[in-house]
Copies of this chain bind each other. A is one copy, B any other.
Amino acid sequence: MDPEPSELKRLSTAASPEQRFHEYLQSRGMRSTRQRQVLLEQVFAEHDHFDADQLIEKLPRRGSADYVSRPTVYRTLGEFVDAGLLKKFEIDGRSVYDFDYGYPDHDHLHCQNCDRLIEFQADGLEQVLRHVAERHGFRIKAHTLLVEGMCDECFRARRRTPRRVDRI
């Protein structure tokens, strides 16, 4: 789950994530608090997938005026997902958050060797899904496609100096 620069470019969109989130808050009678601001800024400062702990590491520490507690981080991430800013999925039992707003649709390759997450855009996928949905009368809201395997780097490295990784 090591963050790395995304290959995908940002799409220009009507509203910024900040604007969109504020609309979301207003429409629900929710308040714009310091904590929500801090998180909004930190999350959208970088454009990469992350989990709760990785986010917390980057936040001001306990004692700082901008400290945000762990429960609030979780609560707010849930709100971002609700607001359509982030997408959430799971790898090995932990939640990973990924950008869903102002980003082109994409999925991930997960290297079981180095744990890296690599974004990709699968050309034909949308069509395949549309077809499936039609056949089953299913209304698609979202999808997560996670491909497990070994990335190119690890494959080459292993060929040079073979070492076991998975189990015993």
- Where the two chains meet, the residues of A that have a C-beta atom closer than 8 Å to any C-beta of B are 82, 90-91, 93, 95, 109, 111-112, 118, 120, 122-125, 127-129, 131-133, 135-152, 155, 167
Contact = CB atoms under 8 A, between A and B. Distances in A.
Contacts of A128: 122-125, 128
A138 B122 contact: no
Contacts of A140: 147-149
Contacts of A129: 122, 147
Given A139-B150, A141-B148, A109 B95 contact: no
Nearest to A168: B28
20 contacts: A82-B167, A90-B90, A90-B91, A112-B141, A118-B138, A122-B129, A123-B128, A124-B127, A124-B128, A125-B128, A136-B151, A137-B151, A138-B152, A140-B149, A141-B150, A142-B147, A142-B149, A143-B147, A144-B144, A144-B145
